[in-house]
Every structure is written in C-alpha cells, then in structure tokens.
Amino acid sequence: MSDSDLASADMQVHRAGSSQAIVGPAEWFTGRVRIDRIFNAPAPARVGVAVVNFEPGARTNWHTHPLGQVLLVTDGVGWTQCEGGPKTEIRPGDLIWCNCGRRHWHGATDSSAMQHIAINESLDGKPVDWLAPVTDAEFLAGPVKKD
C-alpha cells in the first residue's frame, strides 16, 4: 500500500517523526521536557497521545485530568506521586493510571532521564488542569516506594 493509499483508507497512519516536537512549556513543567508526536483523534473521539521525554530532575507541575490519564513508561527511571500518597519509582513497562480529578505529578528522578507515553481523554476539549509547580523540596522528599 502506498502512502497515498494510506491517506484514503479508513485507518490513518501517522509516520514516526512526522510531527514536530515541542519544548514542554515552563507554565506546566520544571526542567527540560520535550513532547513528541502529539496526536489528537478527530471528533467525536476525545483521545490524545504524546511521547514525553524528561531530563534528570524534570517533572510536571501538579495537575489533574477530568477523565483520567494512562502513562506507559518506555525508557529510563521516573517518579510519580498522588497528593498525600507515597512518591513511587516507575520503570520501563510500568503502566500508571492517574485517576480522574486526583492531583498528582510525574517526571524523571533527580539523576535519571525518563520517557513515557501519555494517553488522555478530553472533557469539553480539555485533557488536563495545570496547577502549581512541584517544589524542589516536594520533588526530593523521601522515601521512594519501589515495589
């Protein structure tokens, strides 16, 4: 099947590297973050997918998702934490479900980069509500749950 056939088929194929990466905005992230291959399905679907790369020490702000979020770690080592819960180590192959409306953050560890695939659903066009930055004290606080 040629590329022109792919465009007219019932299924859409988005080739790796066909969308431009963006720098994670300072209003949403601390540290160096790159967001690759952003995809938002056409209506009536509400799903969006991004590959997010965090340099060591980089992390999201606190945030919530109106319909939840799935993260699939693909490389490196990271941390994630729901408000009031333990900071938990995440590794390649780990799948994380971030519950609807639950305040949380995720990112690399202080010494390792981390990459994950983020899958979100939008409610009224909005997949996330961004909140305050995770402070260095919150980010570095221990202990880290590893199981």
Q: What is the pLDDT of residues 114-125, one digit of tens each?
A: 999 999 999 998
- Helices in 9-78 by DSSP H: which ranges? none
5 exposure class (CB count in 10 Å sphere: 0-12, 13-18, 19+): exposed
Q: Reply yes or no on whether the pLDDT at 26 is more than 60.
A: yes
Which residues, 6 or more positions from 5, have their beta carbon under 8 angstroms from its beta carbon? none
Place of tokens 């969006």: 48
Q: What is the pLDDT of residues 30-80, one digit of tens each?
A: 999 999 877 888 888 899 999 999 999 999 999 999 999 999 999 999 999
Q: Reply yes or no on whether the pLDDT at 3 is more than 80.
A: no
Annotated domain spans of the chain: 17-140
Of the candidates 70, 26, 68, 33, the one whose C-alpha atom is nearest the C-alpha of residue 52 is 33
Fold of 17-140: Jelly Rolls (2.60.120)
Of the candidates 121, 97, 105, the one whose C-alpha atom is nearest the C-alpha of residue 33 is 105
- How far apart are alpha carbons 48 and 36 in whole angstroms? 12
How big, in percent rounded to 5, are the helix, strand and coil portions of the chain?
5, 45, 50
